[in-house]
């Protein structure tokens, strides 16, 4: 092959690589826009559930948190949606701090968040204490969040982890934990409504005696091979609150 032919081949290969990288960037951007929450950078509901199901298998003490933000509508109505967006970003930042660096936090929609964490039994009280501090002030309006939490030890008297079980088994376990955490969240919200003082517990762990049973075959999680393939392409890096937007301070 002549020198000119080599140069032509090298130039063509470089151009192909450039096109390929450009297409990957375009695909990643499109996926991020479709599957990541634009306000917080957190996974939206479908991506969170698929990613949570994939991570769940390797956890020693998996716990699901279901979280509800207070007074978002009031902030939107009285201060405007820019302040409401800021409240969501600030609360997301607080949840990330409470859940820890290895947690999978997602925004399920509106004022709803979820987190999957590895929570050793001796740290349950620490989690409850941290959740108590999730209080912010947006231009004078105090907002907070309630947390419902659930682990297998809350669902079963003598739970056993089956790490080698199939995907259906782990999706079913995770789905049951999500349902149990949701029931606990309802109780936490009822307690806060009855006693809205800042000292009222912000987090409730699931209790069968008061929250009701969650059936063993309960499973609402989707199965998506496509999302499992594309999820690693996404760089899930939650956005930090923009302090240059309307001022938010702790009360």
Just list the catalytic residues: 111
Give the DSSP letter of residue 43: B
Task: Provide the total of helices (H) and of strands (E) in the chain, helices listed first.
Answer: 9, 7
Q: Which residues contact 185 (CB under 8 A, 6 or more apart)?
A: 66, 67, 68, 146, 147, 148, 204
Whats the size of the chain, residue-wise? 251
* Cα angle for residues 16, 18, 22 (degrees, 5° grid): 115
Helix (H) or strand (E) holding 78: helix 72-79
Q: In whole angstroms, give the CA distance from residue 202 to residue 67.
A: 10
DSSP string spanning 207-248?
-HHHH----TT-------HHHHHHGGGS---PPPP-TTSS-E
Q: In whole angstroms, give the CA distance from residue 138 to residue 151.
A: 33
By DSSP bridging, strand 141-151 and strand 135-138 are antiparallel
């Amino acid at each position: 092959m002549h020198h000119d032919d080599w140069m032509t081949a090298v130039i063509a290969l470089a151009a192909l690589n450039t096109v390929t990288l450009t297409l990957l960037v375009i695909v990643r951007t499109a996926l991020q826009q479709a599957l990541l929450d634009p306000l917080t950078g957190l996974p939206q509901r479908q991506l969170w559930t698929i990613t949570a199901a994939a991570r769940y298998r390797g956890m020693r003490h998996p716990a699901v948190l279901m979280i509800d933000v207070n007074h978002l509508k009031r902030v939107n109505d009285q201060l405007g949606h820019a302040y409401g967006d800021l409240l969501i970003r600030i609360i997301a930042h607080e949840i990330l701090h409470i859940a820890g660096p290895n947690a999978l936090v997602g925004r399920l929609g509106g004022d709803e968040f979820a987190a999957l964490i590895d929570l050793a039994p001796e740290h349950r009280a620490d989690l409850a204490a941290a959740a108590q501090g999730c209080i912010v002030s947006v231009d004078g309006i105090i907002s907070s969040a309630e947390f419902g939490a659930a682990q297998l030890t809350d669902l079963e008297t003598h739970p056993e982890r089956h790490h080698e079980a199939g995907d259906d088994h782990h999706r079913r376990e995770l789905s049951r934990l999500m349902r149990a955490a949701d029931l606990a969240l309802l109780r936490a919200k009822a307690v806060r409504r009855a006693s809205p003082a800042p000292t009222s517990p912000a987090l409730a762990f699931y209790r069968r005696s008061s929250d009701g049973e969650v059936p063993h075959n309960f499973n609402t999680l989707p199965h998506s091979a496509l999302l499992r393939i594309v999820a690693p392409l996404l760089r899930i890096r939650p956005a930090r609150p923009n302090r240059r937007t309307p001022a938010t301070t702790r009360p």
